[in-house]
Every structure is written in structure tokens, then in C-alpha cells.
Amino acid sequence: MILMVGVGIVGIGSYVPPKIMTNKDWENIVDTSNKWIVEKTGIIERRISEPDVCTSDLAVFAAIKAMKMAKIKPEDIDMIILATSSPDVPLSSTAGITQNKLGCINASAFDINAVCAGWIHALEIGTKFTADNNYENILVIGAETYSRIVNWKDRSTCVLFGDGAGAAVLQKVEEGKGMLGTWIKSDGSGANVIEIPAGGVRKSLSSDSFVEGEQYFQMNGRAVWDFAIDAMPEAVINVLKRVNRDLSEVDMIIPHQANLNIIKEGMKKLNLPMEKTFINLQKYGNTAGASVPIALSEAVSEGKIKSGDLVVTVAVGWGLACGANAMIWQ
């Protein structure tokens, strides 16, 4: 259904830690090579948080930039929705911790987890709340510290990820601009394609069945590839169909920044040139639920997205989950 009330992004910002870790650095830790990483993923470097920096800290830095662009103060925020799969702690919510650090004293706050597709889902939730007359300013954040949840001895996964955060402020806008609609989909039969097997109630770290290494991120790379190369174009096509727009009208696609080859394959299936997408994974690696808002923020700041452009944000996450948002940029 197309939204009849205009809701759009009026402020956006992103943050990545200053510490750069290159492929050459990884060569000194695990059996890998710069050539292999670049050829398989397109990643050249990624950002790593210092030990005293948490996911909530990254979220705060990105949120401050988004609020500055929106010209609002922390106390103006009515709600914080934080998409993350690397929370500060299992309990309480990282959104609540972020709310306290920001000083958003009038805001409700909660986390959602759709892994890499989390921000796509969070943006849809935020849009629905913003359309309600009871809410004026909603902060939608994607923030991750994957450097803490990957196994630094597992060369198949540790080289892929980086840390960062992106945030957007949603407000009511002129009808005809802002969010047009969202399409999201899940397939729980693939929940174990990417997972952290231990640390939850199914298998605690003190369980007799716990095996060292199960507390870290694990991934079936082939299954990820097979799902992602079809799910990305499927999401784009379905969201455009939902909002009665044609693929030829799209000015920019902001995809989840996981793998350059997956993005190329997806754009090929859509029959769209790479010039209609934005890529920054070479600098940051896969920042999971933060990758789309970081890329969107950078595309805006670099002038790649202009007022009136039809923009589609799209991500494939695990659970399995995928989705896309369509919007007319302010």
C-alpha cells in the first residue's frame, strides 16, 4: 500500500571508527591474501572499534550527525529504533543505552534484529509510527560492532566485516516526497545459514554441549551467495511494483554492502548499470545492519542523490530476511 501521509528522511548521518584495518593486516593474522579478499569480495579495508567503544557509542555518533542535519535537539526525538545484531549486552536494549547517552529524555527506544536487513525493517517501522499524529521525530539507527562477534581465527568470515553506524531522522513531509513504500520477506527455514550457535538460551556458554568457537559468528558462504543474488533483485522489483513505479524510473539503488560480486550480479539481473548504485564496501567491509544507512549517508553527502530522485534501499539479511524501501528524496 502506498502511504497517503508524507513521511521522509530529513536528516541523515554516519560514523565509522578511525582505526583502519587493511587486507595486508589480515595477512599477518590468518592464512589469507589481499588478492583473494579483493577478488572474492571487493573489500580493501574496514574500520575496527577500540576496546572501550560499543555499538551504542557508534550509534550516538551517527545520530548526532543526523539530528544536526534535521536541525533538532535530542529532547525533540519521540522514538529511537535501533537495528543491530551486535548489541552492547544481551539485556537491556542497545537502543535504551543509546537513548540515555544521547539525552533523548522524551523518547521511547527499542532494538530490532533482522541482521543485515535490519535497517530496512527499522525504516518501515519508523515510517509507520511517524505517520501517526502522536509522533513528530523518529530516529532510525543501524549500528554494529562485528569485530567483537567474529572469530579472528576463522579466515572465511573474519576478513569480511567492519564496524560502523548510520542514522536517519524521520518527519512528516510534503505529500509526494519521502517514503513511498516497503517490501520485506522472511524465510525462517534458513535461520542457520548465518548464526552464532551459542550464547542464547538454546545453548548457553556454560552448557555441557558448548564447543569453543560456537560463541562466534558462523556462515555458510555458498548458501549466502545463492540466496542473495536472487533476493536482492527480487526485493527491488517487488517494492517498485508495490508503489506503482517502473525500474526505468529509479535514479539510485543503495544496496547492502556485503560483497561487490553479489551487487554486480544483482544489478545485472535487474539489467541496470553499476552507475545506478553506490558502493563503499571497499572502505568499510560488511557493516551488517549499518551498511545501508552508512552508504545512503555518503551518497547524499557526495551529491550522488539529489532532491526528487527515486531511491531504493535494499538489503539481504539472515534469518533469512530481505527487503527494500522506495523513496523520493527530499
Amino acid identity of residue 210, one-letter, is F
* 277-to-197, 252, 255 alpha-carbon distances in Å: 34, 5, 7
8 Å CB contact between 180 and 2: yes
Task: Collect all residues with Cβ–Cβ distance below 8 Å to 52 and sequence separation of at least 6.
Answer: none
The CB density around residue 280, as the number of other CB atoms within 10 Å, is 19
Residue burial 194-218, b: 16+ Cβ < 10 Å; e: rest: bbbbbbeeebeeeeeeeeeebebbb
Active-site hit among 54, 104, 116, 158? 116
Amino acid identity of residue 288, one-letter, is A
Q: How many residues does the chain have?
A: 330
Q: What single-letter DSSP state applies at residue 152?
A: T
Q: What are the percentages of helix, strand and coil residues in the chain, rounded to 5?
A: 35, 25, 40
In whole angstroms, give the CA distance from residue 175 to residue 178: 8
User: What crossing angle do the helices spanning 55-70 and 291-301 adopt, rounded to 10°?
Assistant: 30
8 Å CB contact between 165 and 59: yes
Nearest partner of 291 among 87, 56, 51, 117, judged by Cα: 117
In whole angstroms, give the CA distance from residue 266 to residue 269: 5
Active-site hit among 54, 104, 137, 256? 256
Residue with cell 551504542: 56
The SS3 assignment for 146 reads: helix
Which grid coordinates are listed for 218?
558462523
**Is 116 annotated as catalytic?**
yes
In whole angstroms, give the CA distance from residue 77 to residue 61: 15
**Is 286 annotated as catalytic?**
yes
Active-site hit among 23, 137, 286, 325? 286
Tell me the HSE value of 291 on the side-chain side, using a 13 A CA sphere: 33
**Is 256 annotated as catalytic?**
yes
Q: What are the catalytic residues?
A: 116, 256, 286
